[in-house]
Amino acid sequence: MTKALGDVIPVPASVRPAPAVSWTLDSYTSVSAAPGTEKVAEHLLAALRPATGHVLPRSDDGAIRLRLDAALGPEAYRLEVSTGGVELTGGDPAGLFYAVQTLRQLLPAEIEAGTPQDVAWTVPGGVIEDRPRFGYRGVMLDVARHFFTVAEVKAYLDQVVPFKVNHLHLHLTDDQGWRLEIDSWPKLTAISGGAGTGVDGAGPGFYTKDQYADIVAYAAERFVTVVPEIDMPGHVNAAQVAYPELTADGIAPEPRTDLEVGYSSLVAGKEETYAFVADVLREVAALTPGPYLHIGGDEAQATTAEDYRTFIERVLPLVAATGKRPVGWHEMAAVELPPDAVTQYWRIEATDAGTAGAAARGNKVIMSPADRSYLDMKYAADTPLGLDWAGTVSVERAYSWDPADRLPGVGESDLLGVAAPLWSETLRSLADAQVMAFPRLPAVAEIAWSPRAARDWESFRRRLAGLGPRWRHRGVAFHPAPEIDWA
Ligand code: TNX
């Protein structure tokens, strides 16, 4: 069945259907890629060839045409379907990549199958003109509590980019484990990336620098910027197990694989602390082409307020020395931040003086309220996986809020964007991660991309239903939320 032109997640900014018009891809279809669009054209062909079984050769007058027009602006695109074919125009290569994602969703669901399907590949006619509301549209994956392999991280990336997500925040370190090789402090991974360092003794796992660089490159090919997080001054038990000199008394703590938080702290008054942080940030920055370094800063209950401020004030210049822009969980706003610093709001309270105060001084905010955007919260009381400290988060709850209304003093222009974190204490596999992310990640992604006025729960419910068959074709696990009439 041919889809309606606007039947896409995230809903586009402007949709002008031409109801009498459609176009069908067939074995004669060829593809024209203007200069600068070749790489995105390869993504499109990789998406279309398996299920259609067609060769889709390149030609000068293809029915599928890709081109760039900078006048559209960054990340924007235009997609026109006429009787003669499909024209995809990107304001830049990222925008063109988003046009490809939209075209995929406009084709029948079988386009996601891995082998040739006997389907009429018909696309509805008309024009879509689209651009993002926010520049930061993120997902976060906690690879510290449960380690996800390089292949699993790539698979998760593949599953989120259809929703025009453009940042992957990796929570690389926590009390349980340390997941990124640091040459100057090799025991971090030799000891705390070893067997049994996942929650409940799962594991082992860490990324070598080459493996991490592979993730960063794979993400970049999909227009996704990796944001590495080294969480401090709390959440550091794994670092202290490896290097007891990072504790107050120099005695190694016991390794911990339980779910408690807020019990470990780097020592604000010790110079070793800052030598360690400077080395780690320098090495992480060297692996990071993107602008951001996330320094955590959350749940530092084992750090006095004064030590917390001392620590953050000493660490912010170390980030600046790497040339990167600091991001921290919103607790970081306890100190006056440099203008380029970004806070990430995660709590469930309806106000936060620190985040609002920093915003008033010009610090941008990433919105990730736990009661709306945390993909690790249970959907409902009977959800087998997940936590519920922020309440349960149904698909409707994940969708029916707006980041510009979330905190007084933090409006549209204060927002860098929106992100959906997935903490992994209860997860043991990629399938577990998928069940928690899908279908709520598309809800948060629509909030991050689509104009506020274009969003509507009833419309979203209907569009979401159509994703079920696509995920089944791709072998992606998802939660069959009862409020959706799944196709
Ligand atoms: C709070 S949110 C945490 C994490 C936990 C998460 C579980 C935040 C910045 N810190 O340490 O994994 O809750 O939902």
Question: Taking all residues of the chain, what is their mean pLDDT, rounded to a whole number?
Answer: 97
Buried-state track 186-215, b at ≥16 Cβ within 10 A, e below 16: eebbebbbbeebbbeebbebbbeeeebbeb
Quick one: which atom of ligand 1 is closest to the CA of 145?
A: 12
The mean pLDDT value for 434-451 works out to 98
Q: Considering only the top CATH level, what class is 14-130?
A: alpha beta
pLDDT > 80? residue 335 = yes
Dig out the tokens for 368 from the structure: 């990730």
Pairing of strands 365-367, 415-422: parallel
42 counts as catalytic: no
Q: How confident is the model at residue 353 (pLDDT cuts 50, 70, 90)?
A: very high
409 Rama class: left (phi>0) / alpha (psi -120 to 50) / beta = left
Q: What confidence tens digit (pLDDT) does each residue in 5-29 have?
A: 999 999 999 999 999 999 999 999 9
In the chain, % of residues over pLDDT 70: 100
CA 484 – ligand 1 centroid, Å: 28
Q: Annotate 361-373 with DSSP letters as a single string.
A: TT--EEE--HHHH
Dig out the tokens for 269 from the structure: 């008054």
Substitution candidate for ligand 1 out of 169, 299, 345, 368 with most atoms within 8 A of CB? 299
Q: In whole angstroms, what is the distance from residue 172 CA to residue 206 CA?
A: 9
**Is residue 4 exposed (0-12), middle (13-18) or buried (19+ Cβ within 10 Å)?**
middle
The mean pLDDT value for 232-252 works out to 98
pLDDT > 70? residue 159 = yes
Q: What confidence tens digit (pLDDT) does each residue in 106-149 have?
A: 999 999 999 999 999 999 999 999 999 999 999 999 999 999 99
CA 347 – ligand 1 centroid, Å: 9
The mean pLDDT value for 74-85 works out to 98
Provide the residue type at 140 as one letter: M
CA 178 – ligand 1 centroid, Å: 16
The answer to whether residues 236 and 173 touch, using CB atoms and an 8 Å cutoff, is yes
CA 423 – ligand 1 centroid, Å: 7
How is the chain split into domains, by residue range?
Answer: 14-130, 136-452
Quick one: which atom of ligand 1 is closest to the CA of 235?
A: 11
- pTM to 2 decimals? 0.98
Q: In whole angstroms, what is the distance from residue 117 CA to residue 152 CA?
A: 27
Q: How confident is the model at residue 1 (pLDDT cuts 50, 70, 90)?
A: low
The active-site residue, picked from 129, 152, 272, 299, is 299
pLDDT > 90? residue 302 = yes
Check residue 2 and give its pLDDT: 73
- Name which residue sits closest to atom 1 of ligand 1, judged by CA: 299
Q: In whole angstroms, what is the distance from residue 175 CA to residue 262 CA?
A: 9
Q: What angle do CA 273, 275, 276 make, to 5 degrees?
A: 65
Quick one: which atom of ligand 1 is closest to the CA of 142?
A: 12
Quick one: which atom of ligand 1 is closest to the CA of 261?
A: 11
For 91, residues 6+ apart whose C-beta sits below 8 A from its C-beta are 68, 69, 70, 71, 72, 73, 74, 75, 76, 77, 131
CA 405 – ligand 1 centroid, Å: 23
Please give the sequence-ordered ranges of beta strands (E in DSSP) within 330-465, or none if there are none. Answer: 342-345, 365-367, 415-422
The answer regarding whether domain 136-452 maps to CATH 3.40.50.720 reads no
Check residue 372 and give its pLDDT: 98
- Name which residue sits closest to atom 10 of ligand 1, judged by CA: 298
